[in-house]
Amino acid sequence: MKQLSVAQGTALAVGAVLGTGVLSMPALAADVAGPASLVAWLALIVLSAPLAWTFAALGARHPDGGGVSTYVRLAFGPRAAAAVGWCFYFAVPLGAPAAAAFAGNYVESVVGGGRTTVLIVFFGMVAAVFAMNWFGLRVSGRVQLVLAAVLATLLLITVITALPHARWSNLTPFAPAGWAGIGSAAAVLVWGFAGWEAISPLSAEYRNPRRDVPRATAIAVVVVGVLYLGIATTSVLVLGPELGGSPAPLADLLAIGTGGPVRLLTAIVAVLLTLGAINAYFAGASQLGAALARNDALPRWLTGTPRRSLTVAAIGSVLAVFLPIALHTTMLLVTGCFTLVYVFGTAAAIRLLPGGRDRIGAGVAFCAVVGLLWLTGWPALLSLVVAAGAVGYQAWRARIAAKRAIPSSISDASTAPNPNTKPACVVE
């Protein structure tokens, strides 16, 4: 049964893309490029429009739980589809602890407790998201709609109350790290713009995919663009040089805007933002894992149903939280995987979409994501390793299937009648 309305789909898209980006991305980008990081923000906002529209056009024409993996299979075959599916599916549990760390740090700044508090926040989020998606998109979609409305309101209040304290002098020096710093900032900001691929596995769950997917995506692009640019610009103009070293720029903005202690409020906002992002990714992963198993790209006993797929993603997240990898490195590893998904997805769109505006948009998106993959640097190699694992798994399955078929062929041949043997009942 179709479960997603346009409003719920929009909320899932906003949650997937906006997610943890507004919590720390303005500070991380400013630390790399200074006020010139606003150029990187604007560029990624502009480039995300054709990217989002490309996936919306594909989802409207080819609604399926496989999402980008399905589009790539239609364009380039099953091996490429498996590689893309693995890159997305296994990046979700790796990225969940990194996403939760942003919210965990906000909560820790209020209640203390160090690493223990961060872990408690993470486990609580995974448990909540797991429960919501266990009962299907009807539940998780409604929860996401409420989350999106509350968060959009809180972020707008933050911008409106902090802007009167803006100073144009905070724009100088504009590019302290040189113009090359903009590219470095863009590589960091990719984390904040990943998400359009996360909702593509949900396209089949819309009540009317051909009509509703483009509508939900268009609304989400506008909402995300306005909120991101508003928060980023306000952060630079209000916080100035202090932005780059701020562990919680959103809290700083609220404190300046309202003039009171707001750490608790921003911790709540951080938790809600992160919960929305992880919810959207887990929802997409639950559908994608089942689709990959259906296409023999993953074992059916492991991810053959959305609930099994969801369980694997949740367990993988719990294991990933204990990996000895720095947060910044984890972010780049995850964005490398998602960017490779974008590269293959937009390349598939060039083949599958009809000529005209849609194909031109896909071409622009393809060129942009190839550049972003290059900016990610060596962490993007993880995506190639994951893709190679998918191809290797399919080759192994093919060999197993061939070995099983050979004895059957021999048995059939041994029991087949010999044309040179005469029937025993014939008397010459």
Q: Does the reported pTM lie above 0.85? A: no
pLDDT recorded at residue 427: 39
What CA–CA distance (Å, rounded) separates 11 from 283? 13
Name the band, by pLDDT with cuts 50, 70 and 90, for residue 424: very low
Q: Residues 49-75: what's their mean pLDDT? A: 90
What CA–CA distance (Å, rounded) separates 121 from 278? 13
Q: Is the pLDDT of residue 425 over 50?
A: no
What CA–CA distance (Å, rounded) separates 24 from 400? 48
Radius of gyration of the chain (CA): 24
pLDDT recorded at residue 17: 81
Please name the amino acid found at residue 352: L
**Domain range list for the chain:** 6-415
| Minimum mean pLDDT range among 125-134, 216-225, 261-270 | 261-270
Tell me how crowded residue 385 is: count the other CB atoms within 10 A of its CB: 10
In this structure, the chain runs to a length of: 428
Residue 193, judged by CB atoms within 10 A of its CB (0-12, 13-18, 19+), counts as buried
What CA–CA distance (Å, rounded) separates 185 from 183? 5
C-alpha distances in angstroms, 409 versus 412, 417, 419?
5, 14, 18
| Minimum mean pLDDT range among 172-181, 279-288, 414-423 | 414-423
The architecture of the domain spanning 6-415 is: Up-down Bundle (1.20)
The CB-side HSE value for 156 (13 A sphere, CA atoms) comes to 10
